[in-house]
Structure formats: structure tokens, C-alpha cells
A and B are shown apart, each in its own frame.
Chain A
Amino acid sequence: MKLIFDWLKKNNFEIWAHAVSEGDLRIEPVDNFKSVDFSAEVPLDSWKQAFFPSNHCLFEFNKPPAKKKIPLNPLLLRGETGGFKEGTKRIALFGMRIFDLEALQLYDAVFARDPYYQSRRKNILIIGFASKNEKKDTEILFDKTFSEERLSSYNFDIFWGEKSKRYFTGSPKGKKILKDLKIESASFGAGTESARHNSASMLWRDYLNWKKIIDTALDSKIWDELGKTCLACGKCSIACPTCFCFDIADEFQPPLTPPIPTEASEQGGVERVIRTRCWGNCFYQEFHRMAINNIFNDNIRDRIAFWYIHKFVRVPVEYKLRGCVGCERCHRVCPVDIDIKKNLKRLEKSLKNKKRP
């Protein structure tokens, strides 16, 4: 991995990795190999900031030149809506674990036709890693361990299995890098294809089971209880590697205070408007609010349920992929100890009890 790290640095990649920062394990750009964490621990945040920044510009509206006599309302800006600029910065995600590769697979599917995501994504190199200290979880959904058959279904460039001491390549780009570095790359074992099929169908069957539980347990009292416990702070959704909701919002340049522009924009103080896309958070009331009739998901109970429905119902129906990769970041960042594993188990149990005569 050191050789690859040095190669990335030499080739001017911005390198993101697991690293301890102010006492917590985070994901952030790193400068030297020594600061990279190779433990089996899950960091607090996810990689999504690298391929889907929390706030990015979609395009700008510029003010029309003064001499052009276009009949415009004074506050209206002329939009030279040229669209997205190609991303040029190359980023290497160094040490992505197997469950985060699964989350990336979902992002790749959701934003398959999104020009902004794609222009960024094509400059991102994925170097995966599995620690030799990984422990298997008894619950299939929450199992975070590496296996060849699992890896073979995901998108990556290079992957290092610490236990088997083998490098895998998942793309021509990855192959070329290893070749340049004279590192031998392993190919997946002969039985991987059929094993992949089995493993994928096992994960999927397990997931469909959870989908059914969420689908049928929507009236459960557990949701009322969660609604009372949850603070709707939204940290889980920020930490979640699969949460991809977003808002589209406009910003004035130069910024105006108060945020809702009144006089200044009409007097021509605004130079341009930036239309941005930023992470949305379905735990906030604002996410669901309409200008009138704001009655949808107007309580925390319904918003928590909305989050679970998204992960366990909407995503699998739409993308045939898992909307929860079992990383449990949401539990670790939760200030009131809401435990997704426990909740799923309780919902499952409540259904079993209900069915009993």
C-alpha cells in the first residue's frame, strides 16, 4: 500500500483516507502514509463528501451587461446557464472498506445520468482495503467483512486484502498502476463467479426480509417511541454512506443580509446568483415543507419512518440494491443512542408476536 500511496502522491492525487483527527477516526485528505489508519474500525463519517460534496455549484446566473437593453424586471438576472464545469482535481479514495464500496455502488446507480456526479467520479480512483482484524457479524445485514465474491460485484480500481496478502484489480486503470509498480495482482478464484452469485442472492434475500418487515410494521408502536426519543438532529443522515437526498438552493453573490434579499437585489447590488445542490436532511421539517398545506411528515415519528422506508423499501424497489450497508455509523453518531440493529430486531419481533394467534 505504501508503494501505491507514493505513486498517488507523485501523480498529484489528493489522497483521502481513514485518519485519526482530534481523537476520532475520520475520513479526510491526508499528506503522509503514516497518518493512514488501517484498523478494522469504522470511521465516523463516510466517503460521500469526496464524490458528492455537501454543497456544490450547479451553475450561475449572471447579471446582463448594462448596455444590453433587454426588457427585464430590475431584480431579474440573465442566466447564461452554461452548465457544469468538468472537474479536474484527481482524488484517490485510499482504503475504502468493502461496505463503503457497496454504498458507492448505490451512488453510482443513483447518479448514473447526473453530469455533475459523473464528471467528478471519473477523476476518482478507488483503492479498497480489508483489514486482517475484521470480525464477522452474526447478522447478515451488519456483516462488514471482506470476501472475494462480495468484492467482485463492486466498482473499484485496486483492492488490498491484508489477510490473504493479495491485490485485486477491478479496472484497466487499476491494472495499469499495479503493472507500473511491478505489483502482482491476483485474479478472483475460479469459483468466484458462482460464489458471487450465491453471496449476492443471500445478501439480497436477507435484505428483502428486512424490506418486508419495514413494509408491514409501519403501524408499530415502536415508531411512536422512536419519535419521542429522536431529536431529529439529522446526524445519522449526514454520517450515512448511502443517504443521498439533496436540496437545490440559490445563493446571492455577494451575499446579502438578511438572507432573503429585498431592497439590495432590486437596486442592482447583486452580481450573480449561484444555484447550488447541497445535502438534504429528511429529519428536518424544512425538507418536507411546502409553501401551503405543510402537513406531510410533520412529526419526528413519520420522518424517522420516512428514513427507514427510503433505505429498506424505496432503494431496493428502484435500484435493486441495498439501501443500508450495515456500517452502523448512524448508531455511533446518535446522541440519544438510537440503534438501527436493535430497532430492526424489535420490529421483526413485534411482527412475529402480532402473527401469533
Chain B
Amino acid sequence: MKNPYLPRIATIFNKKKEDDDIYLFTLKFRDGTLLNFNPGQFVLAGIPGFGESAFDVCSSPSDKNTFQICVRKVGVNTAKMVDLKINDSIFVRGPFGNGFPIETVRKKNLLLVGGGTGFIVIRGLLQCFLSNGKTSDVLRTSDVEQKKKIQIFYGARDWNSLLFRDEFDSWGKIASLHLILEEPPEMPACPRGLITKLFEITKIIEKPTIIMAGPPMMYKFCLQEIQKRLNVPDNKIYLSLERRMHCGIGVCQHCAIGEKYVCTDGPVFTYEELKKIKGAL
């Protein structure tokens, strides 16, 4: 019988600072095994003695040998993790959950909405779209170039809290990026406000499928904007949820919402599914 609680040891291949207390880790399993994940899936990772926390995998699945997670220092485990150095080890279980339905969204016009650290999972999706068609069995670059349009809404507090800033140019190849900040700098010019304002001031692509990731408050107000301004069916709005998780396999009940589990039924849900569940959003 397979033991679902045993972690694999991953070595830190690279560590990059994204913001104060937020680091992007590139990991590689020490035993040579691969992660084999879909964008939107998550792993449980941590350091013995400090428990495990859930992280969205935010690299492209076509990078077979390594994978990336973005760690923000918010608790005991993550505080220890961000102190680690290259070649240190992290213990990882997973991948868990269902990712984004890549096959369904690959040919659709996409509006990607990310707020704060929620943007980490959107970045995973973008990396997947950007990855070279030759090695990716998930999405071919040609699909992106020829048929569909991608629009990105990214809201954050200030310029420094925008993650992955050095990747903005590369995203420009496949998508149009719209930023909004609560406290914008003088340069570069950037609108001031909350992410909901982007729905007001931006001409949104036709017939979008919407993918959102961010805090529950953002979902609440963005959904209001979507319902007010856009005619998008509820089953074409995807949201990635965050909950406390312990087992990752739908047993421990920590991440239960209504009759579903965020770990095994999600973490990506359609709004159609979530609107029926009291307290999910």
C-alpha cells in the first residue's frame, strides 16, 4: 500500500527574491523523480519540525527536471523556508488537486485576474503558455499565437510588491498586461486603485473565459464587476481557492467546503460550483 504521507526530498536549485519575505524557489527531487503536474495543482512542502504548507506550483510543466514554488513568510514553516539557501533541502509531497482545465481553456480568449500573492498561480499558467511547443505536451505555442487572446489584470499594493517584474516583457509576447496599484510610483506610470477598477477602465476581450486567483475579498468584488459589465457564464469563470490543508488527499476535513474538498475537488473551481456552496467564497 502506497504511503501518501511520505514526502520526497527536494534540493533547492535556485532561490530568487521577489519581494521582502517572498522568494521563488526552484526545486529538484534528490532521488531524480519528477513532479508531473498541471498548472493550478499544488504541493505540500516544509521542513521537518515545522510542518507542511500548501504552495501552488508556478513553473511550466514542460520544465520536467525542476519545478518552482513561491514562498511568502507568513507562518512558522514559511519563516524557516525563506531562510534556506541553495542546496538545502525541502520536503515535498504532491502534486495534489486538479489544476486548470488546460484542454478546455487552450483555445479560448482568456482574462487572467490575479491579486497580490494570488498572482503566483496565474504566473504558473503563463509559464505554461509561454513554454516551447516542442517539449510541452500541455499547450502548443502555435495555439496561443494563432487563435486566442490573453489579457492579464494584476493588482498589488505598490510597485515593489508586484511579483515576477522581470518577466513582464516576456508575457507581453502572448498577452496584454494591465497593472493597477494602490500606491503607484511616479514612474513607470500606472493607474491607482483596486483591481476592480481595471474592469471599468479597460476594454475587455470578447467572450473571455476568466481565471481568477487572489484573496476572497477580491473574488467578491470582481465577481460583482463581471456580473455588472460582462456576459460571462458562471461555468466559464474559474477561481483558485486557498484553505488550511493537512492531508492533501481529502480525508482530514481541514479544507472542506460544503460537500467538497479544496484539496481533491479543487483548488480550481468554477463559479458555477462555488456559488452553491455557502461560505466557500
Tell me if B258 counts as interface (CB < 8 A to partner A): yes
Contact B74 A292 (CB under 8 A): yes
Residues of chain A contacted by B91 (CB below 8 angstroms): 79
Binds A, one of B48-56, B100-108, B142-150, B180-188: B48-56
Residues of chain B contacted by A275 (CB below 8 angstroms): 5, 48
Contact A248 B246 (CB under 8 A): yes
What distance in Å separates the Cβ of B41 from its nearest Cβ neighbour in chain A? 19
What distance in Å separates the Cβ of B69 from its nearest Cβ neighbour in chain A? 15
Query: Can you list 6 A-B contacts with CB-CB less than 8 angstroms, sorted by A residue number?
Result: A76-B88, A83-B6, A247-B252, A250-B50, A290-B242, A291-B53
A89 to B78, CA, bound (A): 39
Contact B7 A79 (CB under 8 A): yes
Contact A313 B216 (CB under 8 A): no
Residue on A nearest B74 in the bound complex, by CB: A291
Contact B88 A71 (CB under 8 A): yes
Binds B, one of A3-11, A126-134, A228-236, A281-289: A281-289
Contact A113 B252 (CB under 8 A): no
What distance in Å separates the Cβ of A293 from its nearest Cβ neighbour in chain B? 6
Tell me if B177 counts as interface (CB < 8 A to partner A): no
Residue on B nearest A265 in the bound complex, by CB: B49
Contact A83 B3 (CB under 8 A): yes
Binding site for B on A (CB under 8 A): 58-59, 61, 71-73, 75-77, 79, 81, 83-84, 110-111, 113-115, 118, 218-219, 244-250, 252, 260-261, 265, 270, 273, 275, 277, 280, 282, 287-293, 295-297, 302, 306, 309-310, 313-314, 317-318
- Inter-chain pairs besides A244-B253, A252-B49, 7 sampled, C-beta below 8 Å: A59-B5, A83-B6, A114-B251, A260-B76, A291-B53, A295-B216, A296-B279
A280 to B246, CA, bound (A): 10
Tell me if B278 counts as interface (CB < 8 A to partner A): yes
Tell me if B247 counts as interface (CB < 8 A to partner A): yes
Contact A291 B51 (CB under 8 A): no
Contact B80 A75 (CB under 8 A): yes
A280 to B9, CA, bound (A): 27
Interface residues of B in 255-271 (CB under 8 A from A): 256, 258-259
Tell me if B32 counts as interface (CB < 8 A to partner A): no
Tell me if B1 counts as interface (CB < 8 A to partner A): yes
Residues of chain A contacted by B83 (CB below 8 angstroms): 73
Given contacts A218-B278, A295-B216, contact A248 B6 (CB under 8 A): no
Residues of chain B contacted by A288 (CB below 8 angstroms): 244, 254
Q: Which of B49, B52, B76, B258 has the most CB of A within 10 A?
A: B49
A288 to B246, CA, bound (A): 11
The 3 closest A-B CB pairs, nearest first, are A291-B75, A61-B48, A291-B74
Contact A250 B247 (CB under 8 A): no
A89 to B68, CA, bound (A): 44
What distance in Å separates the Cβ of A218 from its nearest Cβ neighbour in chain B? 5
Residue on A nearest B248 in the bound complex, by CB: A248
What distance in Å separates the Cβ of A297 from its nearest Cβ neighbour in chain B? 7
State which of A83, A287, A293 has its C-beta within 8 Å of the C-beta of B242: A293
Contact A250 B246 (CB under 8 A): no
What distance in Å separates the Cβ of A226 from its nearest Cβ neighbour in chain B? 16
Given contacts A81-B6, A291-B75, contact A246 B252 (CB under 8 A): yes
A249 to B247, CA, bound (A): 11
A291 to B55, CA, bound (A): 12
Residue on A nearest B215 in the bound complex, by CB: A293
Residues of chain B contacted by A244 (CB below 8 angstroms): 251, 253
What distance in Å separates the Cβ of B120 from its nearest Cβ neighbour in chain A? 13
Contact B246 A246 (CB under 8 A): yes
A4 to B2, CA, bound (A): 36
Tell me if B87 counts as interface (CB < 8 A to partner A): yes
Given contacts A59-B6, A280-B246, contact A110 B251 (CB under 8 A): yes
Tell me if B243 counts as interface (CB < 8 A to partner A): yes
A77 to B83, CA, bound (A): 15
Residues of chain A contacted by B80 (CB below 8 angstroms): 75
A179 to B157, CA, bound (A): 75
Interface residues of B in 1-20 (CB under 8 A from A): 1-7, 9
What distance in Å separates the Cβ of A286 from its nearest Cβ neighbour in chain B? 9
Residues of chain A contacted by B49 (CB below 8 angstroms): 61, 75, 77, 250, 252, 261, 265, 270, 273
Residues of chain A contacted by B205 (CB below 8 angstroms): none
Given contacts A79-B48, A280-B246, A314-B259, contact A245 B252 (CB under 8 A): yes
Contact A250 B48 (CB under 8 A): yes
A295 to B280, CA, bound (A): 11
Residues of chain B contacted by A248 (CB below 8 angstroms): 5, 51-52, 246-247, 252
Residues of chain B contacted by A270 (CB below 8 angstroms): 49
Contact B1 A76 (CB under 8 A): no
Q: Which of A58, A76, A115 has the most CB of B within 10 A?
A: A76
Contact B254 A293 (CB under 8 A): no
Contact A310 B247 (CB under 8 A): no
